[in-house]
Amino acid sequence: MLYCSMPSPARLLTLLLCPTLLPPVAYGSAIESEVARNLWTRAQHPDTSPGLAQSALDAGVAAGLQASRQTGLPWLRHLDGGLRYDLDPGRLSFSLRTIDDLMVSERRALMLQAGLHNQNQRPTANTGIVLRQQASPGLIVGSNAFLDYEFGKQHVRGSLGLEAIAPHYSLYANYYAPLSGWKGARRDSRREERPAAGYDLGGQLSSDAGLSLQAAYFRWHGAGIDVFDSGRAQRNASGFRYGVAYQPGALFNIGLNQTRTLDGQKQTSVQLNVRINLQEPPSRQLRRESQPFNLTSRRHQWVERESRIVLNTRRKAITLPLSIAQLRGDPTNGAIEVSGQTEAGARIMLTFPDGSGNWVRADASGRYTARSGPDMPSGTVRAQARNVHGDSSPEVSRFYTANPQVEMTAAPRIERVETLRNGLLRVSGRAAAGADIWVVFPDDEEVNGKAEADGSFILSSTRPHASGDILVTASLPDGGVSDASTYAYVKQPPGEPTVDAVSADLVGRLTIQGSSEAGAAIQANFPDGTDANTTADAQGRYTLHSPGAVLQSGDIMITASGIDGAVGDAVFKPYTPEAPQATITSVIPSTLGELTVSGLTQANAEVYVQFPDGSSTTVNADASGNYTAVSTSKSMPSGEIMVIATGRSAGVGSAATQTYTRNPPTAHISSATADTAGKLSIRGQTEPGLSVFVLFPSGDDMTVQADAQGNFHATSSQKETAGIVSVTVSGKDGGVGVPVEYHYSTA
């Protein structure tokens, strides 16, 4: 139609430049038709038309082929260049690949395939050996081995593959293995990456019209698989690739593809590929020609495999720097002042010679200064640093020699202050043998006891305390009270809470149980962005419940905060939702014979319900996991009801079944009205098509049949007085239902 709508000079110019694309048509003048027919005939025999553009182009291609052979570059004979646009991240990439023979016999061919692409902004080259063999007249089988190399991070991956090629379909399977180690991630300086191990299984259906459908299943092994190089990692990622392509001729094809993981991530792309074969003239490549199926015609088919290097990622282990630059003794009370250098903002944990501890945080330049309790003996001072990301330093130590000129006072000596697992404080020290000891904690709690025969004492608080001064006094021999010894207690954040169990109920709500410091505030952050809070009991036990169903895979982060609000290190617990299970809580038949099935399953799950008559329906559970399904057919027979739930990201659960026993049919009387002659009309509903027997107060009776909607109507043959109207329904299986009575009144 486009050709016919052209003006005459344009039509002739089109035939002149591309005579093989458009056939001659009988439009225009007789002269024009004759010229067009002449050009078409000559185009089909270019050797008889040396002046035509097509012949010149074909001759140029032949010269190019001869030049490629003379230069020793046979790979120029089969080139495929492509452009790919990923719609989701909006990335444009290119690819270039080639394949050519190494050794060819009648039934076997050995080839080399090479390629280059920059998908996900990672320039990558791949090359492989391909062996194909004609197994039967309708089947080619092959195997291949490839190496992939990414230039930016120098990742190397190998793969082994098998394939089967038939005239209208092909099947393939590939296994991928990393050949290079962990390297710093491109997107996150605190993570590492390496090629992931995995496999894919796929196939392609094609038609003679040039349309093809592709589909593949893939699975990558690792704790942090980044399928789309987007920074969103998942454990043991699996999913599907599928798409459609159209190839109008041997020269180019276009395609639309989508890759989707089972946790809901996806990437959609549009592709355009142009294939140049210098062994054939363009006029032939622009036409679609059916070729016999054999090794010669199909051996240069591209190997189907994942050319991207899919990455496995993990958190990088970083060692912090730490030094103890100086230890200085305070001559007034014997305390030790420690100073040194580490990473800015890191927390330094210090242990002094008497076993007591303290922690400080480095300033913006990485310098820190800490102070011990008084009267510190000689011994080793130990330190270790840790930052908010969980990176730590090696433990460093330095020996401290106490100042012998420090004078002891009559006040008791505080040797150690410990924070117990339950958050209580334990103070130990030394005073006069048998002396009464009083300890006042930061929140004014007072505890007293007696020193042992050797002067040692140990006293504990009865509840956790915030930071502040701890005062210790002792009784003197003269009956007085000594001066107070003071210890500046700095409450450390609780350590990492333990996680004993993570369980999900039928709806998908999570329950977390574990232990931490007594009275600590526990917070859990779930993969879907919600959080929950609770307080550890006096034994440090805690139980947390998610506010709703957690249907997304990822890490659960749990932290503990002390009574002063300081937050301790987080613990991460990987969580993957399980396939949903469904229960059937009620099966209620209606008067019309419809069944209403209700139950409980995972929140927002898709629920498939199959009824005894074979009909089915699909509904969605609400946020609380409740679902209700109503059959579309009436007069439901006895039989089995089956319910299967499918999660949004956790797959298909097992079937739940329940046997339904059909009750005898019943009826509902909706109205009873009398006409002017006193004849009584009864209207009601029951199951469609059933026989309804109506007995009037006078003894008159009538049998009618319910219509397709289950409605029935019966009118007495005589005038009726007040009394009982009885309606009985007979089922199709011969069963008779319980009579339904209606008290009719003439008042």
Res. 50: pLDDT tops 50: no
Largest distance between two CA atoms of the chain: 140
Q: What are phi and psi of 219, to 5 degrees?
A: -150, 130
Calpha distance 247→54 (Å, rounded): 22
Q: Which band of pLDDT confidence, cut at 50, 70 and 90, is reported for residue 655? A: confident
**Using alpha carbons only, what angle is made at residue 300 by residues 298 and 306, rounded to the nearest 5 degrees?**
110
Which of residues 634 and 743 earns the better pLDDT score?
Answer: 743
Provide DSSP, 93-117. EEEEEEEEEEEE-SSEEEEEEEEEE
Element (H, E) at 239: strand 238-246
Delineate the domains of the chain, giving CATH numbers in brackets.
2-69 (no CATH), 73-315 (2.40.160.160), 318-404 (2.60.40.10), 498-575 (2.60.40.10), 583-660 (2.60.40.10), 668-744 (2.60.40.10)
Res. 51: pLDDT tops 50: no
**Exposed e or buried b per residue across 353-364, where buried means at least 16 C-beta atoms within 10 angstroms of its C-beta:** bbebbbbbebee
Lowest average pLDDT, out of 238-242, 383-387, 662-666, 687-691, goes to 662-666
Task: Please state whether the predicted TM-score (pTM) of the whole model is above 0.85.
Answer: no
Q: What is the mean pLDDT of residues 229-252?
A: 88
Res. 33: pLDDT tops 60: no
Alpha-helical (H) ranges within 499-574 are none
Q: Which band of pLDDT confidence, cut at 50, 70 and 90, is reported for residue 406? A: very low
Calpha distance 744→720 (Å, rounded): 9
pLDDT tens per residue, range 327-345:
988 766 778 999 999 999 9
Nearest CA to 622 out of 600, 638, 641, 643 is that of 600
Q: What is the mean pLDDT of residues 423-431?
A: 87
Q: What is the mean pLDDT of residues 459-485?
A: 83
Sheet containing 639-646: order of strands: 616-620, 606-610, 639-646, 656-660
Residue type at 228?
A: F
Length of the chain: 747
Contact 525, 485 (CB under 8 A): no
**Residue 189: exposed, middle, or buried by beta-carbon count in 10 A (0-12, 13-18, 19+)?**
exposed
- Sign (positive or negative) of CA dihedral 538, 540, 543, 546: positive
Can you give the pLDDT at residue 210?
82
Nearest CA to 379 out of 414, 346, 415 is that of 415
Res. 289: pLDDT tops 70: no
Nearest CA to 613 out of 641, 587, 589 is that of 641
Q: Which band of pLDDT confidence, cut at 50, 70 and 90, is reported for residue 47? A: very low
pLDDT tens per residue, range 182-213:
998 887 777 899 999 999 999 999 887 889 99
Can you give the pLDDT at residue 602?
86
Can you give the pLDDT at residue 350?
94
Q: Which band of pLDDT confidence, cut at 50, 70 and 90, is reported for residue 308? A: very high
Calpha distance 129→107 (Å, rounded): 17
Calpha distance 32→741 (Å, rounded): 93
The percentage of the chain sitting over the pLDDT mark of 90, rounded to a whole number, equals: 37
Can you give the pLDDT at residue 62?
53
Can you give the pLDDT at residue 626?
92
Res. 162: pLDDT tops 90: yes
**Using alpha carbons only, what angle is made at residue 537 by residues 535 and 539, rounded to the nearest 5 degrees?**
140
Q: What is the mean pLDDT of residues 22-29?
A: 48
Can you give the pLDDT at residue 306?
94
Which of residues 663 and 222 earns the better pLDDT score?
Answer: 222
User: CA dist 235 to 147, 220, 221, 231, Å?
Assistant: 25, 9, 7, 13
Element (H, E) at 35: helix 30-44
Beta-ladder partners of 606: 620, 646
- Token pair belonging to 615: 């009909």
Calpha distance 165→142 (Å, rounded): 8
Nearest CA to 334 out of 219, 449, 411 is that of 411
Calpha distance 509→511 (Å, rounded): 7
Which of residues 330 and 223 earns the better pLDDT score?
Answer: 223
Calpha distance 65→61 (Å, rounded): 6
Half-sphere exposure of 79 (CA within 13 A, CB side): 12
Lowest average pLDDT, out of 299-313, 355-369, 472-486, 702-716, goes to 472-486
**Exposed e or buried b per residue across 584-613, where buried means at least 16 C-beta atoms within 10 angstroms of its C-beta:** beebebbbbbbbebebbbbbbbbbbbbbbe
Calpha distance 673→724 (Å, rounded): 13
Calpha distance 350→400 (Å, rounded): 13
Q: What is the mean pLDDT of residues 342-367?
A: 93
Which of residues 421 and 623 earns the better pLDDT score?
Answer: 623
Res. 76: pLDDT tops 80: no
pLDDT tens per residue, range 548-600:
888 888 889 998 887 667 777 888 889 888 888 889 999 888 767 788 999 99
Q: Which band of pLDDT confidence, cut at 50, 70 and 90, is reported for residue 18? A: very low
Can you give the pLDDT at residue 10?
42
Res. 55: pLDDT tops 60: no
How many C-beta neighbours within 10 Å does residue 298 have? 18
Q: What is the mean pLDDT of residues 207-222?
A: 92
Residue with tokens 């006409």: 675
